[in-house]
Amino acid sequence: MAFIKEVHAILITGRTLRQGIGVAEGKDSDVYREETSQVELSAGSMAKLGLKHGDRVEVSTDSGVETFLCRPGDLPDNVVFVPYGPPANRLTLNTTEGSGMPGFKGIPCRVRRVIDEDI
Amino acid sequence: MRTFENTVCSFCGSLCDDIVLEVEDNVITKARGGCAISRRKFLSAIDSEAPLVDGKEVKFDEAINAAVEILAKARHPLIYGLSSTSSEAQAAAVKLGETLGASVDSTSSVCHGPGTVAKQLVGLPTCTLGEVKNRADVVVFWGCNPVEAHPRHFSRYSVQAKGLLREQGRRDRKVIAVDVRRTATARIADIFLQVAPNEDFQVLTALRAVINGNELREETFGGISPEEIQDVCDVLQSAEYGVFFFGMGLTMTQGTHHNVRQALSLVRDLNRKTAFGVIPMRGHGNVAGTETVLAWQTGYPFGINFSRGYPRYSPGEFTVTDLLSRREVDAALIVASDPAATLPARSANYLGEIPTIVIDPYYSATAKLARVFLPSAPVGVAASGTVYRMDQVPLPLRKVIDSKYPSDHDILLAIDKGVTACSASKEALSMIL
């Protein structure tokens, strides 16, 4: 079966319970590192890209590129979600359009599967 | 062993005040009654690294002196963070900002700041969480996910909580969730509106149109049909006492303060028909206090600059992301916050290029790139103080163990004293010369 190489989506970053536990335990903790290095995709997007839970994906925005482990999330096909943390912040936008608020949600992004040759 | 009952957890803006702590040999051995985050917070509360200057361990006074030297030399320093410390420390930070002619900003600018701008435009028809518990029969969660971010909000205040007029808790309430994602909060709601990314403003505008007696003529509003809009309006208008909670899903998405302006206007419209309140779902434990303290001391809630000797307010100009992205500050004092882990990397990386001072109970990601690290006694554990809940109710934090380090408040006062002495000696020298 042929898979699509890349999908265009909207990136949303946000809080999760495990990310909050990681903040309380310490940002060097395993729970914080693990949680902030995951991206959630819809079942449809995962199928299109030929991904299974735990596969590596690359997410890129105008700010940068970051690699995550993917997991299924209850999301529309055009939305991907990453918990708040340093990996997410290599993708968020530092422009505030005069509001003081950087781009943490609703960011256009591209998502592609990382294949062995990329490593 | 000592037991401390009714202790306040200051992790999130819910400020649960029913935590039971057991302390043995100056160590918290048990934390009961809180959520999973709260337990980790209390049980991880131990003294961290020693004071550091350029990565080398120094005596506390030497670290204070290094901080004073950096700040006294700076032409445009930034004081940032403040939302996870006491209001007493926040007031000391404002005083230091005035002494230095610094920019002073809090994490509010990267969370509910746009909501505060909207509040200045529309006003905030608000209530306390006690009123929510005792009166609310319709509860809206828009762009927030308390199940994961404020884990006990439902049981203590807003959904399952049993109150004076809502004796049956959940069964007495209609819950509406609005979000881009079908979150854990959306899954327990009676009505879920799955809004298209960046289109909350359209949905809020459609709701206001219907509440104000207009007809909807489009087929969809931000991914929501006119029928769904009408159904939600029927529930909102039939409320005996409604409450609207909103989170980052409104403040961080396209439109920022315009989204919140529309949400607050919707609540204002609803108050012509029934009783309705609105509460921002604040994240950090004392971010509400930061805005309160800054507003009563300077007239403004965040994004403040003292370089002309009096406070000026300008979100987008004196806010942390803008100041760092434009490389406009030449030193930074970060208090109880971790911008290196929370701001866009393109902004945060600049903190490694300028002399940065960190005051924090924990050795954070920002501390790793700082020139000076001043460890402090964790507030609410080893230091007392006041914090403001998301509904602006102030609560006292207790000291249950001892730390070998001073509180954020005392460290800020010591730096202010040092900088003031430094400025006075410079002034005296210039008069002699």
Query: What CATH number is associated with residue B164?
Result: 3.40.228.10
CB-closest option in A25, A89, A96 to B44: A25
Q: Give the mean pLDDT of B170-189.
A: 98
* B316-360 confidence digits (pLDDT tens): 999 999 999 999 999 999 999 999 999 999 999 999 999 999 999
Q: Which of B94, B101, B100 is nearest to B68 (CA)?
A: B100
Domain final residue pick, B219, B245, B280: B280
pLDDT digits (tens, 9 = 90+) for A14-27: 999 999 999 988 88
**B297 and B414 fall within a common domain:** yes
Quote the pLDDT of residue B433. Answer: 61
| Closest CB to A89 among B252, B320, B345 | B345
The amino acid present at B304, given as its one-letter code, is: I
Q: State the nearest Cα–Cα gap between A34 and chain B, in angstroms.
A: 15
* Confidence at residue A4, expressed as pLDDT on a 0 to 100 scale: 83
Which residues are bridge partners to B243 per DSSP? B139, B277
Per-residue confidence band for B47, with pLDDT thresholds at 50, 70 and 90: low
Q: What is the b/e burial string over A78-99, where b = at least 16 CB atoms within 10 angstroms of the residue's CB?
A: ebbbbbbbbbbbbbbbbbbeeb
Of B127, B133, B128, the C-alpha closest to B164 is B133
Residue-level pLDDT at B422: 86
| Residues of the domain holding A114 | 6-118
Q: Which residue of B has its CA nearest to A77?
A: B181
Q: Which amino acid is at B30?
A: K
At residue A63, φ and ψ (nearest 5 deg) are: -85, -30
Q: Are residues B146 and B269 in the same domain?
A: yes
Q: What is the ipTM of this complex?
A: 0.93
Which residues of chain A have a CB within 8 Å of the CB of B321? 94, 96, 100-102
Q: Across residues A77-86, what is the average pLDDT?
A: 96
For B188, the enclosing helix (H) or strand (E) is: helix B184-188
Q: How confident is the model at residue B129 (pLDDT cuts 50, 70, 90)?
A: very high
What is the average pLDDT value for chain B, to the nearest integer?
A: 96
First to last CA, chain A: 23
User: Is B315 in contact with A100 (Cβ distance < 8 A)?
Assistant: yes
Query: By three-state DSSP, how is residue B187 classified?
Result: helix
User: Is A21 within the bounds of a domain?
Assistant: yes
B265 belongs to a structural domain: yes
* Radius of gyration of the CA atoms of chain A, in A: 14
> Structural domain of residue B164, as residue ranges?
113-280
In Å, what is the CA distance from B146 to each residue of A102, B14, B232, B248, B280? 22, 10, 21, 11, 12
Of B425 and B33, the structure prediction assigns the larger pLDDT to B33
CA distances from B162 to B90, B159, B167, B182 (A): 35, 8, 5, 26
- Same-domain check for residues B307 and B351: yes
Query: How far, in Å, are B65, B66, B172, B256, B404 from residue B379 at the CA level?
Result: 23, 24, 38, 32, 13
d(CA B399, CA B405): 13
Contact A111, A59 (CB under 8 A): yes
Are B365 and B428 contained in the same domain? yes
Torsion, CA B372, CA B375, CA B380, CA B384, rounded to 10: -90
B200 & B324 share domain: no
Contact at CB, B248 and A78, closer than 8 angstroms: no
In-domain check, residue A1: no
Q: Are residues B164 and B202 in the same domain?
A: yes
Do A79 and B180 count as a contact with CB atoms less than 8 A apart?
yes
Helices (H), ranges, B101-181: 113-122, 129-135, 146-149, 153
Is B214 within a domain? yes
Compare CB distances from A99 to B316, B343, B345 and report the shortest one's residue. B316
Render B111-131 in DSSP notation, one character per residue: TTHHHHHHHHHH------HHH
Amino acid A26: pLDDT: 87
pLDDT for position A20: 93
Q: Domain total for chain B?
A: 2
**Arithmetic mean of pLDDT, B37-44:** 92
Write out the H or E segment, with its range, that includes residue B100: helix B87-100
Specify whether B312 is located in the same domain as B299.
yes
Instruction: List phi, psi (to 5°) of B107.
Output: -65, -10
Closest CA to A28 of A85, A70, A69: A85
Same domain, B212 and B120: yes
Residue with tokens 């690294």: B49
Q: Number of Cβ pairs closer than 8 Å across A and B?
A: 140
Half-sphere exposure of B394 (CA within 13 A, CB side): 11
- Which of B44, B182, B257 minimises the CB distance to A26? B44
B366 and B400 housed in the same domain: yes
8 Å CB contact of A25 and B342:
no
Strand B304-305 to strand B312-313: parallel, antiparallel, or no bridges (unpaired)? antiparallel
Q: Which residue does chain B place closest to A76, by CA atoms?
A: B181
Q: Which of B280, B302, B326 is the last residue of a domain?
A: B280
Residue B33 lies in a domain: no
Is B21 a domain residue?
no
Chain A hits for B282, CB-CB cut-off 8 Å, are none
Residues of A in contact with B315 (CB under 8 A): 98-100
A33: in domain: yes
Q: Distance (Å, rounded) from C-alpha B422 to C-alpha B29?
A: 44
B185 falls within a domain: yes
- Comparing CA positions, the residue from B333, B323, B379, B341 lying closest to residue B358 is B333
Does A60 reside within a domain? Answer: yes
pLDDT at B114 over 90: yes
Query: Between chains, do A15 and B343 touch, taking CB under 8 Å as contact?
Result: no
Verify that B179 and B125 share a domain, yes or no: yes
> Which residues 6+ apart lie within 8 Å of A98 measured at CB?
B315, B316
Share of chain B above pLDDT 90, in %: 96
What token pair was written down for B326? 């434009």
Tell whether B270 and B385 lie within a shared domain.
Answer: no
Please judge whether B114 and A14 are an interchain contact, meaning their C-beta atoms are less than 8 angstroms apart. no
Note the helical H segments in B271-403. Answer: 287-298, 320-325, 339-342, 345-348, 365-368
Q: Specify the CATH number for the domain of residue B89.
A: 3.40.50.740
Nearest CA-CA distance, residue B325 and chain A, Å: 7
CA quadruple B194, A73, B14, B289: dihedral, nearest 10:
-80
Which residues in A lie closer than 8 A to residue B320 (C-beta atoms)?
Answer: 100
How many domains would you assign to chain A? Answer: 1
Out of B280, B315, B350, a domain closes at B280
Closest residue on chain A to B151 (Cα)? A17
Asked if residue B49 lies in contact with residue B375, where contact means CB atoms within 8 angstroms, the answer is: yes
CB contact under 8 A, A98 and B316: yes
* Beta-sheet pairing, A79-83 with A56-60: unpaired
- B348/A89 Cβ within 8 A: yes
Assess contact for B408 and B359: CB atoms under 8 A.
yes
Number of H helices, E strands in chain A: 4, 6
pLDDT at B111 over 90: yes
| Shared-domain flag, residues B86 and B129 | no
Closest by CA position to A60, among listed A118, A1, A2: A118
Q: Is residue B2 part of a domain?
A: no
Residue A77 buriedness (CB in 10 A; 0-12 / 13-18 / 19+): middle
Work out the minimum CA distance from B110 to partner chain A, whole angstroms.
Answer: 5
Q: CB distance A21–B37 less than 8 Å?
A: yes
Measured CA to CA, the distance from residue B257 to residue B266 in angstroms comes to 14
Chain B residue with the nearest C-alpha to that of A14: B248
> Is the pLDDT score of B377 beyond 70?
yes
B14 in any annotated domain: no
pLDDT over 60 (residue A119): no
Contact between chains at B345 and A64 (C-beta distance less than 8 A): yes
Asked if the structure places residue B309 within a domain, the reply is: yes
Six-digit token pair at B34? 């809180």
CA nearest B318 in A: which residue? A100
Angstroms from B293 CA to nearest CA on chain A = 20
Which residue of B lies nearest to A36 if distances are taken between CA atoms? Answer: B341
Among B386, B353, B385, smallest CA distance to B370 is for B353
Tokens representing B46 are 């131990």
Q: What number of H helices and E strands is found in chain B? A: 18, 19
The crossing angle, in degrees rounded to 10, of helices B113-122 and B257-270 is: 40
